[in-house]
Structure formats: C-alpha cells, structure tokens
Amino acid sequence: MKTVGIVANPTKDGIRPAIEAVRAWCDDHGLTVLADVALREFAPEGVPCVASAELVEKAELVFACGGDGTLLSAVRMIATAGYETPVIGVNLGSLGFLTQIAEEDLGDVLSDLDPDELPSSARMMLEVSVRGKPGSQLALNDVVISKGGDSRMMSFEARADGEVVTRYAADGLILATPSGSTAYSVSAGGPVVSPRVEAIILTPICPHTLSMRSCVIPPSTVVEVEMLTCDDVTVVSTDGDRAFGLTEGDVVEVRTAEKRAVLVDVSR
C-alpha cells in the first residue's frame, strides 16, 4: 500500500482532527495521503486535495469520515468506478452502524492498525436499473421503491427470474442486502440477516394485506418489479439517494452487482 484517501461530509464537526490523525498514521507508515477536493478548507498544510475521480483511482484505502451516509456514498463511488478499495468508516455524526470508529477512539484504533494486514470483509451490493431507461445505480444497503408523501398506495408485481413471487398493494418495496437488513428493512418488519449470508431481501412497506411478509431469495436471482399502479411522484432510491422516477408500466430490475464493497472491520 502506498496511498490513502480521505472523504468526508464537510458539514460535520471534527473533520480537521480526523484528517490530522489519519495523516499522522500515514506518516508513521510511510504512506501518501490525499483528501477529496471538497475538504480543501479543512485539510492541513501538506495534504493534497484532489478530484474524487483521481482519489478513487489512486487510493488503496479510503477513510470515510462522517456518518453511515458518507460511507455508503464512498462505497458506491468506488464500486461505480470499477474498484473494490477497502473503506474504513469514522463516525463524526449520530448514526454509525457501518462507521465503526467513534471520533474519540480514532487515535487508539489507528495505533493498532497495520496497513499491510487490514481486517476486512467483502459485502454484496445491488445494481438497479429501469427497463428502457439509460444507466444503472449501485446500493450497499438497499434499493427502495416508494411513493410521495401525499400520493396514494401503489400496486406492483414482483418476479424472481421471471417467476411471479407475489402482487403487492403497499406504500412501497425495500430490496435489501444483508448489510442493509438492519436499516430500513428491519424497521418495516424485515429479518436481520448476517452479512456473511448472501441474499436479496424483499420487504413491503405498509402492505395492505397483513399476510404479506418479507421474502429472502438467492443472490443469483434477477428481481423484476413491474409498476401496475402508481403516481408520477414514485421513485427508486439507492441507499437513500434518488436514482430514478417511475410511472405506471415501468419495470425495475435489481440484481447482485459485480463489484463488492470491502469494509475494514476493526471489531475483530
């Protein structure tokens, strides 16, 4: 390893001390450190700030400083660029299920962290597209089909490799990875699935029929969700970020992504 990158949410407190701690660790191990250009006003002297694309291309380890949203964004950016660079999360916010390192513990964790022996785990990701529309998006936690706040309940048909799973009347549908099973999916009544298990978890949001429950299907499955009825404010989001707008007749396709997220696991 030669180069370490730092990305962060510039609205969070504690960014400057976090960058300084990472730079000190890099200096101790003879590593070059790069910060994302958005951190220019926070980066101490001697830490170059580069465009995100350059950082992703050069970094062999990325520190994501902020909350889970920062880490999810970093992972998607890396995978979209075609890399599987390890990411280590530093929690500078209030929500940190994936960002394991608390701000106050960063120095202690780094003192025990060997850049040549990173304890890491690979996590499956999802790729989502809408048939007939250009492009696709990646998600580490979940793909969510949801309606606008004032719109009516929608109906849709879910298919697995072309076979009908069920028809839903609901406020939406969550398609989660095991990593995302403890996020929105579990809040909607879905199961908690170990990240060591690979699967796609389908959980309806506020289904009209009480018998509707989550489905857990193999990761090799291609899931199709055909929108039977929906308002024009219906959207597909990936890890909480809007990806596509939907209309009646659209078919959402979700499959396991080729690239994986690699998270450094300091709990081991």
Residue 268 has pLDDT above 60, yes or no: no
Predicted confidence band of residue 55 (pLDDT cuts 50, 70, 90): very high
pLDDT of residue 83: 97
Is 151:136 a contact under the CB 8 Å cutoff?
no
Please give the Cα distance from 225 to 173 (Å, whole number). Answer: 9
3-state secondary structure (DSSP) of residue 64: strand
Predicted confidence band of residue 239 (pLDDT cuts 50, 70, 90): very high
Please tell me the least confidently modeled range out of 37-46, 80-89, 98-107.
98-107
Query: Locate tokens 């090799």: which residue?
Result: 220
Q: Which of 68, 142, 171, 250 is catalytic?
A: 68
Residue 99 has pLDDT above 90, yes or no: no
The residue that leads in pLDDT, 11 or 137, is 137
Q: Which residues contact 140 (CB under 8 A, 6 or more apart)?
A: 72, 75, 76, 123, 125, 177, 179, 180, 239, 261
Q: Is the pTM of this model over 0.85?
A: yes
Instruction: Determine the straight-line distance between the first and last CA of the chain, rounded to whole angstroms.
Output: 21
Residue 84 has pLDDT above 90, yes or no: yes
Predicted confidence band of residue 28 (pLDDT cuts 50, 70, 90): very high
DSSP state of 31: -
Is 141:179 a contact under the CB 8 Å cutoff?
yes
Residue 151 has pLDDT above 80, yes or no: no
Q: Average of pLDDT values for 142-169?
A: 91
Q: What is the dihedral of CA 163, 250, 69, 75, to 10 degrees?
A: 60
pLDDT of residue 143: 98
pLDDT of residue 96: 65
Question: DSSP readout, 66-85?
Answer: ESHHHHHHHHHHHHHTT---
Q: What is the tens place of the pLDDT at every residue in 166-209?
A: 999 999 999 999 999 999 999 999 999 999 999 999 999 999 87
Please tell me the least confidently modeled range out of 13-22, 87-96, 151-160.
87-96
Please give the Cα distance from 187 to 175 (Å, whole number). Answer: 13
pLDDT of residue 152: 83
Please tell me the least confidently modeled range out of 146-155, 170-179, 236-245.
146-155
Please give the Cα distance from 222 to 115 (Å, whole number). Answer: 37
Predicted confidence band of residue 147 (pLDDT cuts 50, 70, 90): confident
Mean pLDDT of the chain: 93
Residue 93 has pLDDT above 90, yes or no: no
The answer to whether residue 112 is catalytic is: no
Q: Average of pLDDT values for 120-148?
A: 96
